Amino acid sequence: MKIIVAKTAGFCMGVKRAVDLALEHSGKAPGGIQTLGPLIHNKQTLEVLKQRGVTTLDETKQLENQTTLLVRAHGIPPSMQERYSREGHAIIDGTCPKVKTVHKVIERFRAQGYTIIITGDEGHAEVIGLLGYAGDNGILIQSADDVAKLPDLKKICLVSQTTFDRLLFDTIAGEIHKRFDSTAEIIVKKTICAATDQRQAETEIIAQQVEALIVVGGKNSANTQRLAKIGFDSGRITQHVETEEEINWDAIANCKSIGITAGASTPTWMIKRVHDYIEFMSQTHRRGIKSTLLHLISIFANLNVFVSLGAVAVYYASCYLQGFDFNVMGATIAFLYFLSMYLWNSLTSIEKTQHHGIGRYRFYHAQKKRLYIIVTATICLMLGFSFFYTTQLFYLMLFATLAGLAYHMSIVPGFLRTVVPYSTLKDIPTSRELFIALAWSTVLTFLPQVLAKSFTIDILSIALFTWIFILAYLRSLIFDLRDIEGDRIMGRETLITIIGEKRARKVILLMIWLCLATLLVVPSLLGLSIYKSTKALEFFFQIPVLFYAFVFVKWNTKIGQNRSALFNILTDGIFYLMAAGAAIAELMLK
């Protein structure tokens, strides 16, 4: 089954901004934050926001005393804003900048004596706001027929609700010109948001390419309803769902292609859940070679097999760069260690990371017992191999395993909890990425040394340790970049959620440039002759990894959010490329 996900699906800029404001101020605003009407049309997200002190009031209700008002992206009438300010409520303005532009247009032409005709849905929050700005000069119309009911007018300014149907707007504008061209001054401002426009246009195109269309988003969301209407009008099987659980699978089971689109207030992780569900159902219900293969790949990705193989690749590079022979036992231990630790990490954090993918979530729930058995067996096997090899190796792996297991366990005694704000290591913000990178660099720098019974800490091992640390850290950051929206909503404090996506991308790119500069400049600081040394040249073969990481960080948003297995493999490509660099160096510098 071919699945096409609309590129425009998911939060639009205005909704994203409002949700970010809610998350930023939650817990800080005295008296809590209230919104008049839901901030977005997604029950799960609203539930999480509620737990974080952002509650939703019915639009007709009054704010509670001392609370902070968060104005939704739709905006509110100026009179309402003034009233709440007078009553002493703090106000966080989450009005979408594009809606604000419509407010300004209305204010400008109203001041010049124009009658403001607004095309929009009666009772919609944004329309109430627009009418508030238009005051006595405002008239709402909803269809071309309404033009005939307008009184005689001399000066007309036609604007629109930002999510209004673009074709209907054009028809209404045409009718207005027909009736008033000879008698009135007419200004038409097509204030339909491009995001809405593009979403509708893309949905029309996708509807032509598929047999069924799934529209994800709130049943009360006007812009999602419009997308569903496009689907119904196209004659395709169309389902408007809020979550994957509402999909009527029987109705689409035999379709060869399915399109997924979503409203502006549908979180990306919900779209991903819908995608994962359809993919899972199609792979489990059809057993062609391709779907079986894809199913296997996603099982391997869920089991963290690709990243564990990445550890084998890094182990090989580490052996080569340190001048040791590749040891099959070392590769096996590296594979088993990272497999067990990633599985353990996934099992213990699956509830908090369920927004990373419903396929993965279901898999871990369904296979929980078996996976715990695999973790235990893998750890025993890995420690057993180490024990029979050398005592030093056993202690290294035991230390690394205990550190990995302890990460999720409470290590601060009860009586210290009032002094120490964190009870587990994982509670420390941004700790996850650092600890993972530390595990990679410690195990994969020293494993070859211990196996070769040549434990040393010199410039070379420090450089290698740092290099592996950076690559593992980069890998974690790339995943955090992908999951930022869900992580923010679920309250996961990663470096990316703390500093924001834009800044995070800049920091990562800067990190890559610094690495490149270090690789090129440090040897010269140690003396120009080092450029002639094979050791420095061996490190130069690692430079393509940085270019790959650069390209990936810059353009990874183009890889559909939903193609998790592909995304995993491509991200782990950093490690495979490190091994490839070492292999090429080995061949060329013989």
The binding site for ligand SF4 (CB under 6 A) comprises 12-15, 73, 96, 98-99, 162-163, 193, 195-196, 264
CA 477/CA 479 separation, integer angstroms: 5
CA 246/CA 341 separation, integer angstroms: 35
Q: How far is the CB of 160 from ligand SF4 (least distance, A)?
A: 11
Residue number, 105 or 264, with CB nearest to ligand SF4 = 264
* CB 116, CB 159: distance < 8 Å: yes
C-alpha pair distances (Å), 34 with each of 50, 264, 415: 9, 21, 36
Task: Please calculate the CA angle 414-349-484 and round it to the nearest 5 degrees.
Answer: 115
Q: How far is the CB of 208 from ligand SF4 (least distance, A)?
A: 23
C-alpha pair distances (Å), 8 with each of 40, 232, 268: 17, 19, 10
- Determine the residue type at 33: I
Among the listed residues 195, 233, 243, the one whose alpha carbon sits nearest the alpha carbon of residue 96:
195
Could you say which DSSP state residue 326 is in?
-
Q: Structure tokens of 397? A: 């792996």
Residue number, 18 or 333, with CB nearest to ligand SF4 = 18
Residue number, 124 or 179, with CB nearest to ligand SF4 = 124
Interhelix angle 543-555/564-588, nearest 10 degrees: 160
Neighbours of 399 (CB within 10 A): 12
Residue number, 221 or 353, with CB nearest to ligand SF4 = 221
Q: How far is the CB of 130 from ligand SF4 (least distance, A)?
A: 12
Residue number, 117 or 130, with CB nearest to ligand SF4 = 130
Residue number, 12 or 274, with CB nearest to ligand SF4 = 12
- 403-438 burial, b at 16+ Cβ within 10 Å, e below that, comes to bbbebbeeeeeeeeeeeeeeeebbeeebbbbbbbbb
- SS3 for 421-487 is CCCEHHHCCCHHHHHHHHHHHHHHHHHHHHHCCCCCCCHHHHHHHHHHHHHHHHHHHHHHHHCHHHH
Q: How far is the CB of 263 from ligand SF4 (least distance, A)?
A: 9
Q: How far is the CB of 551 from ligand SF4 (least distance, A)?
A: 29
Residue number, 194 or 526, with CB nearest to ligand SF4 = 194
CA 344/CA 376 separation, integer angstroms: 9
Question: Catalytic pick from 64, 126, 175, 242?
Answer: 126
Position of minimal CB gap to ligand SF4: 14
Q: How far is the CB of 44 from ligand SF4 (least distance, A)?
A: 20
Q: Structure tokens of 39? A: 């901030």
Q: Structure tokens of 339? A: 């497999």
Q: How far is the CB of 13 from ligand SF4 (least distance, A)?
A: 5
Alpha helical stretches, state H, 210-366: 222-233, 249-252, 268-285, 289-302, 305-322, 328-348, 358-366
Secondary structure E strands in 74-227: 91-93, 115-119, 138-141, 155-160, 185-188, 212-216
Q: How far is the CB of 400 from ligand SF4 (least distance, A)?
A: 47
Residue number, 46 or 543, with CB nearest to ligand SF4 = 46
Interhelix angle 97-111/13-25, nearest 10 degrees: 110
Q: How far is the CB of 116 from ligand SF4 (least distance, A)?
A: 18
Residue number, 70 or 99, with CB nearest to ligand SF4 = 99
501 classed as catalytic: no
Q: How far is the CB of 112 from ligand SF4 (least distance, A)?
A: 24
- DSSP reduced 3-state for 188: strand
Residue number, 125 or 314, with CB nearest to ligand SF4 = 125
C-alpha pair distances (Å), 259 with each of 205, 226, 264, 564: 10, 16, 17, 18
User: Could you please report the per-residue DSSP string of 223-234?
Assistant: HHHHHHHHHHHT
Task: At 264, give phi and psi (nearest 5°).
Answer: -70, -15
Q: How far is CA 132 from the centre of its chain?
A: 36
Active-site positions read 126
